[in-house]
């Protein structure tokens, strides 16, 4: 692939992290329960609620950029990793570590089996493309096995109800992997898959198109730990600052 002097992998990760943080801030630091509060608020508090109503939808919109970037970076990480087994173990570990913070943030329960965090989607997607790599030689048998593997990954993500599920998450990862050498085509087909979820997320593929093929400065474990830690911080703000203030 021709190198373009634009975004490195590290820069794309930062964009994805910031977009995700804005999205989760809007969803977790929610003033919605207080919109119809019977007690009149002061001008400062009312202004804060009004401001959140105007800004938080924009935060959620920007947040749509995060997931396609994470899927792209997952595929790039798999292609360039020197140890696929360690990569798989890291994703598995952080899927487990992040589940309680995720459930507390979005279900207000310690354990909620009705939905799983995005690391599970990425983990299943990684398992699928690991198997697809083993079936690169063209034959009818390999094509049928490949379809079965992708179908199993989609089913598993839907069954687990992992974030973005199978028809968006797993299918997007598979498209980005199979078309990894066809830059424009993978962006176009990836955008079609993502249209199931968001039109604004399509702008992520503009960033992907201008990926320069360089890893950039690595903050490997920071990016892994950021997910569960930022969820816990946002939960703390909501529970110990916002709710007591309105109560």
- Cβ atoms of 202 and 191 within 8 Å: the answer is yes
**Cα–Cα dist 187/179, whole Å:** 9
The rounded Cα 218 to chain-centroid distance in angstroms is 19
Q: Look at residue 4 and tell me whether its pLDDT is greater than 80.
A: no
The model's pLDDT over 169-215, given as tens digits with 9 standing for 90+, comes to 999 999 999 999 999 999 999 999 999 998 999 999 999 999 998 88
Host H or E run for residue 204: helix 204-209
φ, ψ at 36 (rounded to 5°): -110, 25
Q: Which among 97, 102, 50 is positioned nearest to 234, based on CA atoms?
A: 102
How many whole angstroms separate alpha carbon 78 and alpha carbon 27?
Answer: 31
Cβ distance 8 to 48 under 8 Å? no
Output phi, psi for 211, to 5 deg. Answer: -65, 135
What is the DSSP-derived secondary structure letter of residue 71?
H
Q: Higher model confidence: residue 149 or residue 219?
A: 149
Give per-residue pLDDT as tens, 119-169.
Answer: 999 999 999 999 999 998 888 999 999 999 999 999 999 999 999 999 999
* pLDDT tens, position by position, 97-112: 999 999 999 998 999 9
């Amino acid at each position: 692939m021709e190198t373009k002097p634009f975004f490195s992998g590290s820069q794309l990760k930062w964009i994805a992290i910031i977009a995700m943080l804005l999205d989760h801030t809007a969803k977790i630091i929610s003033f919605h329960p207080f919109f119809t509060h019977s007690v009149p608020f002061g001008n400062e508090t009312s202004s804060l609620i009004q401001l959140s109503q105007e800004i938080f939808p924009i935060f959620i919109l920007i947040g749509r950029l995060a997931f396609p970037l994470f899927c792209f970076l997952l595929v790039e990480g798999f292609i360039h990793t020197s140890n696929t087994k360690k990569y798989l173990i890291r994703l598995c570990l952080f899927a487990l570590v992040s589940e309680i913070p995720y459930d507390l943030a979005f279900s207000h329960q310690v354990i909620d089996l009705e939905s799983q965090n995005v690391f599970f989607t990425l983990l299943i997607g990684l398992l699928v493309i690991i198997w697809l790599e083993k079936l690169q030689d063209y034959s009818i048998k390999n094509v049928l096995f490949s379809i079965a593997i992708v179908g199993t990954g989609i089913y598993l993500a839907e069954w687990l109800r992992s974030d973005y599920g199978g028809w968006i998450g797993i299918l997007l990862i598979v498209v980005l992997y199979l078309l990894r050498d066809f830059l424009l085509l993978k962006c176009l087909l990836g955008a079609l898959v993502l249209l199931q979820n968001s039109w604004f997320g399509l702008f992520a593929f503009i960033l992907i198109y201008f990926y320069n093929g360089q890893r950039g400065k690595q903050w490997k474990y920071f990016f892994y730990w950021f997910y569960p830690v930022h969820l816990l911080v946002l939960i703390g703000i909501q529970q110990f600052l916002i709710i007591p203030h309105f109560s």
